[in-house]
Amino acid sequence: MPRLGAALLLCLLVLSLPEPPAAESPLQLPAPQNVTIYSYNYQNLLRWAPVKVDNGSVLYTVQYSTIAYDWEEINCTNITKTECNFTHPEIKSFWTITLRVRAELGQVKSDWVETNKFFADQNTTIGPPVIVNVDSTPDSLFLNFSPNVKEDNLQYLVRYWEKSTNERHETEWTKNTRIGLLNLKQLTVYCFQIRAKLRLLNDNIGPFSKTDCHKTATSDATRAGFVAIIFVGATVTVVILAIVCFLFIQKFHQVIKYWFQPPFQIPLHIEEYLKDPEMPVLEELQNNCAEEDPWDSLSVVSNAEGSQALLNTNVQSDSRSIESEKT
Helix axes 268-275, 281-291, angle to 10 degrees: 140
Q: How confident is the model over 223-249, as a mean pLDDT?
A: 77
173 confidence band (pLDDT: 50, 70, 90): very high
| Predicted pLDDT of residue 23 | 37
| Predicted pLDDT of residue 239 | 84
Q: How confident is the model over 71-76, as a mean pLDDT?
A: 91
**Residue 20 above 70 pLDDT?**
no
pLDDT above 70 as % of the chain: 67
Element (H, E) at 38: strand 33-40
pTM above 0.85, yes or no: no
Q: Is 33-123's fold the same as 130-218's? A: yes
Least confident among 24-33, 79-88, 145-154, 296-305: 296-305
DSSP conformation letters of 136-205:
EETTEEEEEEE-SS--TTEEEEEEEEETTS---EE---BS-SEEEE-SPPTT-EEEEEEEEEE-SSS-EE
| Predicted pLDDT of residue 289 | 52
Q: What is the average pLDDT value for the chain, to the nearest integer?
A: 79
First to last CA, the chain: 193
Tell me how far apart the alpha carbons of residues 76 and 45 are, in angstroms, rounded to a whole number. Answer: 11
CATH class of the 33-123 domain in this structure = mainly beta
What's the pLDDT tens digit per position in 216-228?
A: 998 666 666 666 6
Cβ-Cβ contacts under 8 Å for 64 (sequence gap 6 or more): 71, 72, 74, 86, 91, 97, 98, 99, 100
Indicate the residue type of 325: E
Taking domain 130-218, whether its CATH number is 2.60.40.10 is answered by: yes
Q: How confident is the model over 112-132, as a mean pLDDT?
A: 94
Q: How confident is the model over 118-138, as a mean pLDDT?
A: 93
Q: Where are the domains of the chain?
A: 33-123, 130-218
CB 101 within 8 A of CB 112: yes
